[in-house]
Structure 1
Amino acid sequence: MSKTIIDKLWDSHVVVNEENKPDLLYIDLHLIHEVTSPQAFAGLREKNRTVRRPDLCFATMDHNIPTIDRFNIKDETSRLQVETLEKNCEEFGIQLEGLNSEQQGIVHVIGPELGLTLPGKTIVCGDSHTSTHGAFGALAFGIGTSEVEHVLATQTLWQNKPKQMKVNIEGDLGFGVTAKDVILWFIAKFGTNVGTGSIIEFSGSTVRGFSMEERMTLCNMSIEAGAKASVIAPDETTFEYIQGKRYAPENQDFKQSCERWSKLASDPEAKFDQVIEIDASEIEPMVTWGTTPSMCLPVSGVIPVKDPLSTNEEEQALQNALTYMGFNGNERIEEISVQHVFIGSCTNSRLSDLIEASKVVEGSKVHPDVRAIVVPGSQAVKREAETLGLHQIFLDAGFEWRESGCSMCLGMNDDIVPEGERCASTSNRNFAGRQGKGARTHLVSPIMAAAAALKGKFTDVRSVLPVKELEVNRYAGV
């Protein structure tokens, strides 16, 4: 019987299967951070339980960490969460990459760069953007705090098998168009509910041509299309990225693993519940204008006023978004000024993202009305970027160069966008208040963010540099 990659991943991890009931899945890797784990560990203590497989758990600190003076956490709740994670990991024997670690970073950045994320694994974390790891051919999804406790106690998780969607992307992307633009375009066209109840497999020549960093960006934001998870079949690009990573298989074990991983690809005759075909040449650099990732337009676009075919509910959502974002409608995207630029987050803080952005800003200056910050996704990314001199390029241009962490992606640390001000952000969510009370977030790619920093407003990055000077970097990662 022909199977999809989703079938193969799911079926190989089923521990218990009963008709009309959820499946019990074995979990290969449990990633932990400071925000969603305290109650789970407390639950273990209350029930006098231990962690079933501490060797399959891996923890770091990212959401609450200051990116300036990182050891001085001023917020009481944030400091308590960090200290609690340290105590919990010590008590239950879980490896922690804390503030003193050279491997600390955003959980969805360090998992892949350390070789913890591997094809064929089931991976969970108390964070919705765990879908990032699906770029490696892993079944990876976010879980709630009660589920975190269940996995800690049993190394298993009850789950209903979702539907399966295939998104096939074919063709070459145009100059200045990135993986971030692809996923923003997809959500804008098909909506934030298109993937609801489904796991998405991304496929096609465009996806095969992506670097691992680009694939991670694609999978990272699939959750914003409503998907449970997303996955990309592992190939030579995947294997090349993994080889030599700290926790990856070595020598003969690596060769045998690659042979096994190659068989994960969907069978040619495998059936999906839904298939969507996309022509990559249609996609342009994108900018969100509203309060969901689906409220997104090409940089050449004009903010809508009213859709005569919309329902009353949709009309109200449009008006609410316009009010919150401070728009009347009919504004051109390229007329929108920004006061902040954030290059970072688990979506776009990897080395290749910083390389691409640095090419845009090199030799130029940040607009005087803009505060721009760059936050590497991990300490390893930061070290490698500094070795390449990227930090000096950003500093010379007027950017702030920070320590690793989630930073301005969400309002859980010191990096907040003031009320009523706009931020061109490479993060994944533009919900109301996401970057601070009253903050107005616009999602863009790293190179679009860099261009906005220089111009003080959204600018088509394709007009900033000649084609020959801006080539999408395919760096294989640290």
Structure 2
Amino acid sequence: MSDPQTLFGKIWDRHVVAGLAGGAELLAIDRIFLHERTGAAALNSLKAAGRPVADPSRVFCVMDHIVDTRPGRGDQTLMPGGQAFITETRAAAREAGITLFDVTDPDQGIVHVVSPEMGIVLPGCTLIAPDSHTCTQGAFGALAWGIGSSEAEHSMATGTLRLTRPKTMRVTFTGTLAPGVTPKDMILTLIARHGAGGGKGYAVEFAGEAVRALDMEGRMTLCNMATEFSAMTGMIAPDAKTYDWLRGRRYAPRDAMFDRAVADWQTLPSDEGARFDIEIDIDASAIEPMISWGTSPEHSSGISGSVPADAPERPVAYMGVEPGQKLIGLPIDAAFIGSCTNGRLSDLRRAAALLKGRHVASGIKALVVPGSMAVRRAAEAEGLDRIFTAAGFEWRMSGCSMCFYAGGESFPAGSRVISSTNRNFEGRQGPNIRTHIASPETVAASAIVGCIADPREIAA
């Protein structure tokens, strides 16, 4: 009998094409995603080298990073030169014959939202994109990770990529989450306790009762921020929830082929007795809503906590907080709900439930940017857009808007923003913007009160 294997090990071994010098291996790549910020560069470089895309049916491209999210948008953007990124990527994608989800396509959205919606990501597959949050899609039991443009070029030309096998880590969340506590709070707890570099060099599998209890959108949130833990990727074993999500999706297998696929996917979860290089256990029942106070996700605390007494000087100075200062009650200027972390339908539902019949505090700029146009349509069908707008939120088109600042739209300089995004480093949401990352519920609650607030108190 073979030794027990991890989920990661099974997928990796299935995709090894050849061993290479120095211990690296050549892996087969099943799916490749591009976006408009770097897509044209990779495709045009490939063309200049005289190399075609080996299998265009495996390559997809979205317009998401720099597109305008205001209603009525087109190719024009607030980012200087942004329109050229869009038009050049469109031309290159069409010439290469790859699938493009264009600006006005009804299926446009953020890559890590669109791919699961379409059933492009599947259990057991390898999927790459020039975006560090590609690990989001590990929630489906896939091996998904972010790459650079040159690696995208190589993989499109050869269908392979050279990698050195990472170590493995299992993070087990035991127990049950308390009401009002979310997957965003789970991952921020992990990073706050073990550091933003705690996962460096590892492929992380999330496991345990609290993880199994999450729906697929919650699992995507958890895996999304594995890169903020410096992990190569985050993964969750596929189960019945995974299969139910994928059934009937556009690119998923169908009919008898789907049943055969499920039979194979059921062999993927880590075997009993499989060994990981590191094991971390976290009691999920002890987690409370989390909020960041500094300029890294590791600078986070429970909502009832304070800025640490020994907090580093630079993040404290940038964020305009003081060691020992309570986080609840800290005034905010703006609130943002969206991003590939928390821009899905369930995120919008939970935020809207708190906002219904309430209004944001005077002077607060508040925005909702759905993660995809499909999410936007579904939310509108449920009337969520009307709840948000009645509460004082702007209702936008889908994209990475206001999560990723590239010289385009921003909040006013110096604003303190509570955000459902994944990063809070200096300038992430614009020049001198002070970003506190939290769950959509905490964002909504804080927008109502006008300062950082505990969503559990609003819900009560």
TM-score above 0.5: yes
Runs of 4+ aligned structure 1 residues displaced above 3 Å come to none
Q: CA deviation at 1:280?
A: 0.4
1:162–1:197 Cα contact (<8 Å) kept: yes
Q: CA deviation at 1:410?
A: 1.2
Please give the per-residue CA displacement for 1:182-206, whole angstroms capped at 9, x wherever unaligned: 0011100110111000000000111
Q: What's the counterpart of residue 174 of structure 1?
A: 178
1:63–1:413 Cα contact (<8 Å) kept: no
Alpha-carbon distance in structure 2 between the residues aligned to 1:292 and 1:24: 33
Q: What's the counterpart of residue 12 of structure 1?
A: 14
Q: What's the counterpart of residue 422 of structure 2?
A: 428
Alpha-carbon distance in structure 1 between the residues aligned to 2:371 and 2:242: 20
Q: What's the counterpart of residue 311 of structure 1?
A: none
2:79–2:409 Cα contact (<8 Å) kept: no
Alpha-carbon distance in structure 1 between the residues aligned to 2:243 and 2:20: 36
2:39–2:61 Cα contact (<8 Å) kept: no
Alpha-carbon distance in structure 1 between the residues aligned to 2:79 and 2:195: 36
Pair 1:338-2:332 in alignment: yes
Q: What's the counterpart of residue 104 of structure 1?
A: 108
Pair 1:299-2:299 in alignment: no
Pair 1:232-2:266 in alignment: no
Q: What's the counterpart of residue 438 of structure 1?
A: 432
Q: CA deviation at 1:413?
A: 6.2
Q: What's the counterpart of residue 201 of structure 2?
A: 197
2:63 corresponds, among 37, 61, 64, to 61
Please give the per-residue CA displacement for 1:158-179, whole angstroms capped at 9, x wherever unaligned: 0000000000111111111000
Q: What's the counterpart of residue 287 of structure 2?
A: 283
Amino acid at match of 1:190: H
Alpha-carbon distance in structure 1 between the residues aligned to 2:276 and 2:228: 20
Alpha-carbon distance in structure 2 between the residues aligned to 1:70 and 1:223: 31
Amino acid at match of 1:195: G
Alpha-carbon distance in structure 2 between the residues aligned to 1:270 and 1:380: 39
Pair 1:369-2:363 in alignment: yes
SS at match of 2:402: helix
Alpha-carbon distance in structure 2 between the residues aligned to 1:251 and 1:53: 25
Q: CA deviation at 1:74?
A: 4.1
> Aligned ranges for residues 302-317 of structure 1 at < 5 Å?
302-306=306-310
The answer for unaligned runs of 5 or more in structure 1 is 308-317, 467-478
Alpha-carbon distance in structure 1 between the residues aligned to 2:40 and 2:309: 45
Q: What's the counterpart of residue 269 of structure 2?
A: 265
Pair 1:149-2:153 in alignment: yes
Alpha-carbon distance in structure 1 between the residues aligned to 2:15 and 2:105: 32
Please give the per-residue CA displacement for 1:208-250, whole angstroms capped at 9, x wherever unaligned: 0000000000000011011000110000010111111111111
1:46 corresponds, among 45, 48, 56, to 48
Q: What's the counterpart of residue 457 of structure 1?
A: 451
Q: CA deviation at 1:369?
A: 1.9
2:20–2:26 Cα contact (<8 Å) kept: no
Amino acid at match of 1:337: P
Amino acid at match of 1:459: A
Alpha-carbon distance in structure 2 between the residues aligned to 1:360 and 1:328: 30
Deviates more, 1:73-82 or 1:259-268: 73-82
Deviates more, 1:16-25 or 1:326-335: 16-25
SS at match of 1:442: strand
Amino acid at match of 2:234: S
SS at match of 2:342: coil
Deviates more, 1:366-375 or 1:64-73: 64-73
Please give the per-residue CA displacement for 1:341-371, whole angstroms capped at 9, x wherever unaligned: 1000000000000000000000001111211
1:184 corresponds, among 181, 188, 191, to 188
SS at match of 1:90: helix
1:407–1:413 Cα contact (<8 Å) kept: no
Alpha-carbon distance in structure 2 between the residues aligned to 1:373 and 1:413: 18
Q: CA deviation at 1:335?
A: 2.2
Amino acid at match of 2:185: D
Deviates more, 1:407-416 or 1:64-73: 407-416
- Compute the TM-score of the two structures, normalised by the length of structure 1: 0.94
2:132 corresponds, among 117, 122, 128, to 128
2:31–2:126 Cα contact (<8 Å) kept: yes
The answer for unaligned runs of 5 or more in structure 2 is none
Deviates more, 1:326-335 or 1:165-174: 326-335
- Compute the TM-score of the two structures, normalised by the length of structure 2: 0.97
2:80–2:407 Cα contact (<8 Å) kept: no
SS at match of 1:118: coil
Deviates more, 1:128-137 or 1:407-416: 407-416
2:31 corresponds, among 29, 40, 43, to 29
Q: CA deviation at 1:386?
A: 0.2
The root-mean-square deviation of aligned C-alpha atoms, in Å, is 1.1
Q: CA deviation at 1:415?
A: 3.2
Amino acid at match of 1:229: T
1:361–1:450 Cα contact (<8 Å) kept: yes
> Aligned ranges for residues 392-411 of structure 1 at < 5 Å?
392-411=386-405
1:325 corresponds, among 312, 319, 336, to 319
Amino acid at match of 1:138: A
Please give the per-residue CA displacement for 1:114-164, whole angstroms capped at 9, x wherever unaligned: 110110100000000000000000000000111011011111100000000
Q: What's the counterpart of residue 222 of structure 1?
A: 226
Alpha-carbon distance in structure 2 between the residues aligned to 1:125 and 1:13: 17
SS at match of 2:206: strand
